[in-house]
Amino acid sequence: MGGIALLARAAGHRVTGCDTDVYPPMNTQLAEQGIELIEGFAADQLKFDPDLWVIGNVVARGTPLMEAILDRGDRYISGPQWLAENILQSKWVLAVSGTHGKTTTSSMLAWILEDAGKHPSFLIGGVPQNFSVSARLADSVHFVVEADEYDTAFFDKRAKFVHYRAKTAILNNIEFDHADIFADLAAIETQFHHFVRILPHSGRVIAARGDEAITRVINRGCWTPTESFGAGGDWSSAGAGDAFAVFFKGESLGTVTWDLMGEHNRSNALAAIAASRHAGVEPAQAIAALGRFQNVRRRMELRGTVAGVAVYDDFAHHPTAIETTLAGLRNRLGSAGGRILAVLEPRSNTMKLGIMKDRLARSLRAADKVFCYTQGLGWDAAATLAPLGAQAQCHDDLQRLLAAIVAEARPGDQVLVMSNGAFGGIHEKLLDALAVKH
């Protein structure tokens, strides 16, 4: 919604907005762009008397402002529908979907198009460091959008991505998530089926090979040419670490040399290269552009190093993302590298419900020590992490958690903080406390 606010302002509208607990980088980005952010959903905001209320899916019935809007009969619309009707009508939409990797892949794709001189518009659920903003409206025909399967609004239960009318669509992966709105994986697959079935024949589906859920979605009906990526796919890679070769149908196209880590990012890169090729970028140009890609804020973002202890911020909150992020860091460190101290806040709705708690211990095995913040959880995290033994500890108080991490940390350690929220500003607090300790 913050990104949509930026696009609306760029389109010439006066924009204000309200939300609760907005944290960096979004609140700072809005302030830098001159968009007033009001804390909370009080009914007295009717005084702004806007021409249109654009409603995000966080807003529920019973919210004072929403009830006041309905009672007064004001005009309102969902964020995705506003975007589709006001911005996307004349655009070539490149939509990046999947349970994991949407933000990073969208950022890669936008950067490739930018580096190739196509100057795309974009709407991304994070802040790509190559751009410093999460959304931009440009004169270009190309528009890159992070296409989410989460529902649109309380009054529109379709997935957001069905509004975007994509021409190029990436399907990165499909796993069970969003347990607060989806009963099972089959329900999520149905939303992806709705997405795929409205793609044009002139478009392109870029789909991960070997993902059984994606295979089922495609097999339910796809009227758009499809390319696959991953092992055995049309697009594949060879190599590891900071360099890997890219192949299309067995032909070597070049080598990506970059600073990102993990097999998941190599997969993201293949998808972005394939999608950009459909939009007219030669693979060699895309490969060169990825060598200049600076990743996304809160995706393995190094927040600082104090006394030899590095503190990273990462958005991982699903067991699969946690496992792949840890694997990438472990691979970079190598067998002779320092320890990994994993700090986890199970904050997403799915994690709070405990739906995936049985996968949590396994996803954290690559860490040397695990610190879990349990405040607000409705399930026993200590019991869930018991298979890790003395490797793991749980705390329901942020200060005690912070003290335990600082007491354990020693030079050479990599502290990996994983949360999809602000986590009480723990990153800076850790760096400050480590400085005092040393």
Identify the domain boundary among 290, 320, 344: 290
**By the 8 A CB rule, do 422 and 295 touch?**
no
Q: Which of 194-198, 219-223, 427-431 has the lowest mean pLDDT?
A: 427-431
What's the pLDDT tens digit per position in 340-388?
999 999 887 777 777 778 888 999 999 999 999 998 888 899 999 999 9
Looking at the structure of the chain, the number of domains it has is 3
Length of the chain: 438
Statement to judge: residues 283 and 308 lie in one domain: no
Percent of the chain's residues with pLDDT above 70? 99
User: Can you list the alpha helix ranges (DSSP code H) found in 73-101?
Assistant: 79-86
Same domain, 250 and 110: yes
Closest CA to 323 of 387, 383, 366, 261: 366
Q: Can you give the residue range of the structural domain that contains 56?
A: 2-80
What are the pLDDT digits (tens) for 15-26? 999 998 887 778
Domain boundary residue among 290, 311, 330? Answer: 290
Q: How many CB atoms lie within 10 A of CB 23?
A: 12
Based on the fold, state whether residues 363 and 317 are members of the same structural domain.
yes
pLDDT-derived band of residue 438, with 50, 70 and 90 as boundaries? low
pLDDT score of 187 more than 80: yes
CATH of the domain at 141: 3.40.1190.10
Q: What is the pLDDT of residues 38-63, one digit of tens each?
A: 999 999 999 999 999 999 999 999 99
- 51, 80, 109: which is the final residue of a domain? 80
Q: In what order do the strands lie in the sheet with 369-373?
A: 301-306, 309-314, 414-418, 340-344, 369-373, 392-395
